[in-house]
Amino acid sequence: MSAHYELIGNAAVITIARPEVKNAIDRATAEDLAAAWRRFEADEAARVGILTGAGGTFCAGADLKVMDLWDDPAGFLGFTRLQVSKPTIAAVAGHCVAGGLELALWCDLRVAGEDAVFGCFERRWGVPLVDGGTQRLPLIVGLSRALDMILTGRPVDAAEAHRIGLVDRLVPPDTELAAALDLAEVIAAFPQVTVRSDRGAVYEGIGLPMSDRLTRERRHGRVALMTGVQGAARFAAGEAG
Report whether 52 contacts 15 (CB < 8 A): yes
Distance, CA of 113 to CA of 29 (rounded, Å): 24
Q: Point out the residues that are catalytic.
A: 62, 99, 102, 122
Distance, CA of 22 to CA of 165 (rounded, Å): 25
Helix, strand, or coil (residue 182): helix
| DSSP assignment string, 124-167 | GGT----SSHHHHHHHHH-HHHHHHHHHH---EEHHHHHHTTS-
